Amino acid sequence: MITLFPFALFMLSFLPLWISIIFICTKSILIDKSSNLYTEILCIAFIIIFFILSLFIVFNQLKVQYRNKSNKLILTEYKEEKAISSEYLLSNILPLFAFDFTSWSSVVLFLIFFITLGYLYTKHRYLTTNIMLIFANYRIYQCSFEDNYKVKVEHYLISKRQLYNQKGCDIYIVMLNNELAMDVTEE
């Protein structure tokens, strides 16, 4: 896994915040006739550039076929994680709306907080909560597997396919971190 992948996932997980900031800055430029024009323009430009780069990195990484590097496991149990993104939205994104994105000093305070949060997110590879993966039709499952020696392991699994009727079937996975795997099983 490339080292930019966790950071790119982190950036994409804040899609609602980025849309809101672009809206606020655009409103400030066009309607309020802000005196901080450069702050808003730079803010919009950075968000768009980093978002597009992050999209490219993430979806390029997810398209790579790892079949030769994957582990074959037998799926024994699974449960789709449906609330995990809502919890992330409420606990991590909503508080960031408290910053005034039309003031450069508030943007600096936001960046201090955001960079700290990003460091923790990428350092601990907290990759399971990403709204962009949901928009791209990936699902997150909590799964139990057995290997060829009947050893049980548990992982969160990112999969583009639904796992219903897959109990007892072989699943090819690639580990993204210690607890998160990606399903690379060919359909």
pLDDT at 129: 65
Please tell me the distance from the alpha carbon of residue 89 to that of residue 130, in angstroms, as a whole number.
Answer: 9
Helix or strand holding residue 63 (H, E): helix 37-63
As averages over each run of 10 residues, the pLDDT of the chain (187 residues) reads 73 84 86 78 91 88 65 87 65 68 78 83 67 79 88 87 86 80 78
Q: How far does Cα 76 stand from its chain's mean position?
A: 26
Stated pTM of the model = 0.70
The domain locations on the chain are: 4-183
Q: Please provide residue 172's backbone torsions phi and psi, each rounded to the nearest 5 degrees.
A: -95, 125
pLDDT at 87: 65
Which residues in 55-81 are b (16+ Cβ under 10 Å) and which e? eebbeebbeeeeeeebbebbbeebebb
